[in-house]
Structure 1
């Protein structure tokens, strides 16, 4: 799709069953869409009233469905702040209509509906009840992308399955008036195995238990998008950690109430409703969900002109489409590089099956000779724009460490050992440890080598400035002819060099299933 075909920001709607599902399965994609200038909306069906509470600090919420619902609303708000998502809604305006159904484990190792459920349980409601509310949101925001669970619900949770059914029914009920691309969250079998691998470096430090067997269903449909979210994995981890009643995060691993450890997903996978298999989508797997977003014509091309731009303003083309414009129909045709994909409600992939609304449509492939030199180049997937807050936060941390380290680094203690006087430079050790902790914090949080280097440079330059006679508090804080001061001046740069090559958070991962 050419840049001229996009009249405003890409709009994406994520539909999930409970608070925390969005951060675990799609948090990285949401953050990258926000960074790319997209308008992201999260729609959560329940408030997670039936979740098992972890952590001694929150045990008073166990069994208190109303109290836990209110608490998890706050957790979700904090998670969305970490991801930068401003538009997050619940399916029902008040608690109690679509409640967390709960679940129990079946003999096959997957989740199933519990024997005892509240009257307002989500999975008890007919699919059309939540579908009508989802349809209203789709009609309001006219998304180019709708993303939800596959038919199996990931690991079989009955609420996940019901949300899948409701989303498919909601789009079918639009009867082709709005035809967004419908994507399902999937995980290839090899990715499931790798996530639960207890031999991964660092797992032994988490305190989590190894899983005897993964509970997730492996992907049944071909992977259409493999979105590398390693560049925002720190923000994804922060969003997950915000759900403290449900998730424990330790480094690059997490566990739910069962304490079974798994790696935080650095690649998020999606199947396309129009390509349930066995043949994959032409050109797949794409590197970003933006690459398969529906064209403006499929969702109402004049929507942006009717005042739907976000406060960020209109963005350039963010979705250089695949060969032919891809839609979400239950049936689609793709004949070679110039083929076109149908646009409709989507047929569900997976073991439980699903229904699409069957409308089809096509957009001719762009003329290769069409001049696009003036089009703004899309930002590569996995390389988010650093926010002003990230830069400000880094500068504040570096200045604080420079001041504290300079004040501390000359402290030492003389001890006698075998008749010899030894000087223990504990002040320098503490100062360098503080600098290392600050640089590790910035690196893991923002996944940026540039900010790591900036932190080290500011610490060294700030320390040098504090040692100048013309500045307060004066040159006596930094005596440059001592080894301790030399170590403090150059130590942060050496630490930064080590971290830049050693930290997994700063290494790129291939976006392949």
Structure 2
């Protein structure tokens, strides 16, 4: 055991295969008619490992249930004021029981964010079998000298990994029979990053599936969360570009375990910076493959934004076009009556710059591209207004309608450019 080693966490999306699909839902089924059961080891795993997927599924109308194997009693606590709740803290006398209760409350808040329908711990509800345990303790873990997760030498005798697998599998099988999910999602054999409870959860689920094989309770498909991607892995891959907002807020609910450090970053108690990834990948463990989309490819799904040079050229061209076009028709005025006039040309000109700048920021994924569109349009307008003293293209002198609209056209460009940056930022955030 070496707790000073740099911990290893795989990053989803580093490898996307050519035959990847972009859904977990079997062919011919609508999300609204699909039930998925996620099986995780501890509170917070559902959010950090699959939160973007769950949020996307529930937003699409799918029904998502969650089975959690333990209550996370062996977790490390971030808040110094709650350190005494840690099972291995010198002042602790309840072996993490209160921490498990707190993490259960955190889990409930997280599931509200994700839109999960029902939740149970192993040993509860349909997984409660006569004469078997109603509570399984977190096994904990340590970091090996290679930075990989390893078994906890202090794991209790009543923890998940030290108790027999068969009763656990029978309890999960009973849960599957009761819920009848179309799809099950759990860990791959490596447990993601290797946590012993994650690996045991995979073993339990696969053993449970053996118990219901060939019955009406058998799911159509079973997916495993992809850990370290392998080029030689020929199993079908699913790539889910999910909802980062729901994932982030669900992770935030697990405050004893997770600190949200930015819109797309977080840390566990070990202070290792990690991304909040909206991309989550899975490998088929069992069941029917999904038909890949005929025209989409993995490359197209993750096409990169234009580089800086192309972005500069695109934004500059849009600035010249929108600035010139707006200048040509900004002075179109409808004189309704004496003293009453409507500058419809000005409104159209400003909308031209707004849409050009917004498109540039979204297409290039760079807010400075919108700024460049506005800057070029503004400089062009200034050239038209002041390059020649008798220029009539842009008349800036607010003493009459043409002078008023000329002034508003020139300085309005700056305002609509700022609005375009706000609009583009909100669009990208919504569609992450």
Classify the secondary structure of the residue corresponding to 2:33.
Answer: coil
Structure 2 residue 73 is the aligned partner of structure 1 residue 49: yes
Classify the secondary structure of the residue corresponding to 1:173.
Answer: helix
Residue aligning to 1:466: none
Quickly say closer, same or farther: Cα 1:7–1:117, change in 2 above 3 A.
closer
Residue aligning to 2:163: 125
Larger Rg: 2
Task: Judge conservation of contact 2:31–2:62 (CA < 8 Å) in 1.
Answer: no
Instruction: State the number of aligned residues.
Output: 277
Query: Deviation per CA, 1:218-271, whole angstroms, max 9, x where unpaired?
Result: 995645210001xx2111100001000001112210111110011111111010
TM-score (norm. length: structure 1) = 0.49
Residue aligning to 1:257: 269
Higher helix proportion (structure 1 or 2): 2
Residue aligning to 2:52: 28
Task: Judge conservation of contact 1:223–1:285 (CA < 8 Å) in 2.
Answer: no
Task: Judge conservation of contact 1:225–1:285 (CA < 8 Å) in 2.
Answer: no
Quickly say closer, same or farther: Cα 1:265–1:258, change in 2 above 3 A.
same
Quickly say closer, same or farther: Cα 1:507–1:67, change in 2 above 3 A.
closer
Q: Structure 1: which 5+ residue stretches go unaligned? A: 190-216, 288-380, 382-488
Task: Judge conservation of contact 1:47–1:73 (CA < 8 Å) in 2.
Answer: yes
Query: Deviation per CA, 1:29-68, whole angstroms, max 9, x where unpaired?
Result: 1111111211110000000000011122422322340110
Please give the alpha-carbon distance, in whole angstroms, between the structure 2 residues aligned to 1:23 and 1:59: 23
Please give the alpha-carbon distance, in whole angstroms, between the structure 2 residues aligned to 1:160 and 1:68: 20
CA RMSD of aligned residues (A): 3.5
Residue aligning to 1:176: 214
Please give the alpha-carbon distance, in whole angstroms, between the structure 1 residues aligned to 2:176 and 2:426: 41
Please give the alpha-carbon distance, in whole angstroms, between the structure 1 residues aligned to 2:295 and 2:168: 31
Mapping of residues 1-20 of structure 1, within 5 Å: 9-20=33-44
Residue aligning to 1:109: 147
Mapping of residues 73-92 of structure 1, within 5 Å: 73-92=104-123
Query: Deviation per CA, 1:151-191, whole angstroms, max 9, x where unpaired?
Result: 011111110010000000001101210221110000465xx
Please give the alpha-carbon distance, in whole angstroms, between the structure 1 residues aligned to 2:295 and 2:65: 22
Residue aligning to 2:259: 248
Please give the alpha-carbon distance, in whole angstroms, between the structure 2 residues aligned to 1:165 and 1:235: 29
Please give the alpha-carbon distance, in whole angstroms, between the structure 2 residues aligned to 1:142 and 1:18: 22
Task: Judge conservation of contact 1:100–1:122 (CA < 8 Å) in 2.
Answer: yes
Query: Deviation per CA, 1:322-374, whole angstroms, max 9, x where unpaired?
Result: xxxxxxxxxxxxxxxxxxxxxxxxxxxxxxxxxxxxxxxxxxxxxxxxxxxxx
Classify the secondary structure of the residue corresponding to 1:42.
Answer: strand
State which of 65, 83, 95 in structure 2 corresponds to 1:59: 83
Classify the secondary structure of the residue corresponding to 2:212.
Answer: coil
Please give the alpha-carbon distance, in whole angstroms, between the structure 2 residues aligned to 1:508 and 1:8: 21
Structure 1 residue 274: Cα displacement:
3.8
Q: Structure 2: which 5+ residue stretches go unaligned? A: 1-25, 302-411
